[in-house]
Chain A
Amino acid sequence: MREILCHKVASGFASGPAMVTRMAISFLGNVDPRTGVVIDPGHELFGQSISGKVLIFPGGKGSTVGSYVIYQLKKRGLAPAAMINLRSEPIVAVGAIISGIPLVDRVPDDVLRVKSGTLIEVDSDEERIRILDTIPTGSK
């Protein structure tokens, strides 16, 4: 297990399998609010569902309506379990807060090298991320 210090943006505690991308995410346009699937063919995560994942990405971009899209995902049970940014910007920060999704930032860049699927625990109030064991292949 590896523990990483971070900075709290939106409070809460959650764990789940990591989903990692080096590309910024524009929730308005990149993610379908009805399914939680990344629908932008130009995005690294195209075709994958972000639901229940610990979504690790550099930060948000695009329209401020993206905050509301995060909220819609949460209400439909399709939101990420938690999010980790290198640097949070207002769209994702506000989206996470209004939705009650734990969000932390100010982590070292190498967090983007965590393998997707690795079990991650985000403890926002304690400002700690714990990288736990890799989930065995085949499990969900």
Chain B
Amino acid sequence: MYLSRDEEAIYRGDKGETLRRMMEILVALGDIYGAERLVPVRSVQVAGVSYKNIGDAGLEWISDLEGQVVVPSVLNPAGMDLYCWNDMGISKQFATKQQETIEAYRSLGVTIDCTCTPYQIYSHLAQEGDHLAWSESSAVSYANSVIGARTNREGGPSALAAALIGKTAMYGYHLDINRLPSHVIQVKADLVGSDYGALGFLVGKQVGDGVPLFLLRSTPSRDELKALGAAMAASGSVALYYVDGVTPKPPESGYDHKGCENISIEREEIEAVYAEHKGEDADIVALGCPHCSREELERIADLLAGKKVAKEMWVCTARKIRDACPDLVARIESSGARVFCDTCMVVSPATERFGKMMVNSGKALVYLPGLGGVNAAFGSLDECIDVALGRRRA
């Protein structure tokens, strides 16, 4: 791999041991994946935040690091709401470890925004054509597909290396050659809301790490694209997709769909995802995977207006979004539901005390049984709210 004179100096250790190791990580990954050089990144989203995932091993490494990030850097969701953790049923012991992890990142200069949707709170982190080093799978998918930026899915150390050096190895989704569609997905149904999560749930399983191009009848909103990408990154490992006429286009050479595998999805298949994951018997409803936008909070507040929930209900969002709309939060919480920040049902150990969790997210549907130790049910936002309110549907 080619290194500039400055990069070579860091690699030799002229700028200290921490940066030498960080450069060694970038070079090692570049060698493994056949990168020709490094490329500057506009921003970094660092993985390895939830203490549930990294444990003492990860915490120890992060705490030992010294240095300062040189590009804007934010965090993946943590294992708990950093303030209201007690209300989630998180133990003091876990909370202490999680706080230590956050403080270790703070001392490296990372901005303490623990969210899977950094693009919903900061527009300067990613714009079309930017190279990034992001980590959270749904954010990676959104950045690549909806924003038209370029990022691989980074692990904790490789993301921190990018943050401290300001560069990443140029391979994978940074290159046009890996951004060509591999599958054309014809969807023969009009979709709305959680249907996109169901679609992603189905398509991710079929395309694996491919690059699907969707031909849709309906025009998805940004929130619907967010749900689609999140589900495909969970049921498969899709990091980039296209929606014809909606998202940025593939590189020119890939636009003829030559050599693409064709898949067709019918209405019945979408319906089957709901039918196979019914949720009347759920003991909790959790929304906000990925983190709710302001528009989604509005919709939830409207549906809950003047009502009281009969079951525990969580709404997960980014702290900056919560802080920006206290009126909406108050309306939601007056129903008895809770708005939690910095975390979600997929990364928090708080799910373990429940038997069945109802979600409107294709991503949460994939991960909850394995990662969360809880059965998962899937429904539209309206159905989730009905279950939370204890209403039976006709």
Contact = CB atoms under 8 A, between A and B. Distances in A.
B272 interface: no
B31 A75 contact: no
Interface string B49-82: 0000111111011000000000000000000000
Interface of A: 7, 9-11, 33, 64-65, 67-69, 71-72, 75, 87-90, 93-94, 97-98, 100
Interface of B: 21, 24-25, 28-29, 31-32, 48, 53-58, 60-61, 155-158
A65 B54 contact: yes
B55 A65 contact: yes
Contacts, number: 62
A104 to B, nearest CB: 11
B28 A68 contact: no
Contacts of A93: 25, 28-29, 32
A10 to B, nearest CB: 6
Contact of A65 (B21, B28, B29, B57): B57
B364 to A, nearest CB: 20
B53 A65 contact: yes
> Interface residues of B: mostly helix, strand, loop or mixed?
helix
5 contacts: A67-B157, A88-B32, A90-B155, A94-B25, A94-B158
B25 A33 contact: no
A72 B24 contact: no
Nearest to B155: A64
Nearest to A93: B28
Contacts of A97: 21, 24-25, 28, 157
Contacts of B25: 93-94, 97-98
Contacts of A89: 32
